[in-house]
Amino acid sequence: MGSNRTAAASQGRGAATPASLPPLAEVLGHDFADPGLLSRALTHGSVPRRRRGAGDDYQRLEFVGDRVLGLIIAERLYRDFPEEREGALAKRFAMLVRREALAEVAGRIGLGPHITISKSEEEVGGRENPAILADCCEALIGALFLDGGLEPARRFVEAQWRALIEADLRPPEEAKTALQEWAQARGLALPVYREVERQGPDHDPTFTVEVAVQGQAPTRGSGRSKRLAEQAAAARLLEGLESQGESEGESEG
């Protein structure tokens, strides 16, 4: 599907290889009128500009894909959960557009081998890096939208996100929200989060955040963004609170 046009756009060393692009085009279910969009969606920023030819890396397409994904998921949730209020829909939405969901989809369609990255990035496992996989997945959605409009992007997203949407029909509860509600129910001050460490390169940092709640030992969590690190820290503290509750119950018994 679209193999000749796709291959023609990938002759530069900075583009995805001709052999790799046609199968991916079939997975996407779209015959690209402009194969250069697909090639750019698969080109990581670590590739030197001189190797990209006339193309660019995936960041601008990622920007578009992020917005398109959000629109499609929001519309799908509105239709699938007519009884839920805005707050519950917002929680579902956050779970479905976060980096972990994108990386899961990228892994499922075998995206890693198709990505063009620098040798140094490849040596440190760049093709398996969840952040890179997630970014490329968003860029692919952006490429589908710019090449064919909303429908090819919608077909891809609805097919690949169906399992994630149906995995748990209950409204998800974010760890930060749950921890805040736990504190408020006991008349305590709101949890306090602070960044304690940042590691890795500027384009792919890992954050460590500490959360403190009155009367509890602080806990830490890490993630590819401050938000994810805060969620991880809150989840860890909640796990500790649950363990305390179980221990207290056993003692009373």
pLDDT of residue 85: 85
CA distance 124 to 120: 7
Instruction: Tell me the average pLDDT across 221-236.
Output: 84
User: Which of 27, 222, 195 shows the shortest CA–CA distance to 130?
Assistant: 222
What CATH number does domain 3-166 carry, 1.10.1520.10, 3.40.630.30, 2.40.170.20, 1.10.10.60?
Answer: 1.10.1520.10
Ordered by start, the domain boundaries in the chain are 3-166, 175-252
Q: How confident is the model at residue 68 (pLDDT cuts 50, 70, 90)?
A: very high
HSE-CB at 8 with a 13 A cutoff on CA atoms is 7
**What does DSSP assign to residue 116?**
B
Find out whether 47 and 31 touch, Cβ atoms under 8 Å: no
Give the tens place of pLDDT for each residue, 95-153: 899 888 999 999 999 998 888 876 776 676 678 889 889 999 999 999 999 999 999 99
pLDDT of residue 49: 60
With both helix axes pointing from N to C terminus, report the angle between 130-148 and 150-166 in degrees, rounded to the nearest 10: 140
d(Cα 115, Cα 21) in Å, to the nearest integer? 10
pLDDT digits (tens, 9 = 90+) for 187-200: 999 999 999 999 87
Structurally, what CATH architecture does the domain formed by 175-252 represent? 2-Layer Sandwich (3.30)
Residues involved in catalysis:
66, 138
With 0.75 as the threshold, say if the pTM is over it: no
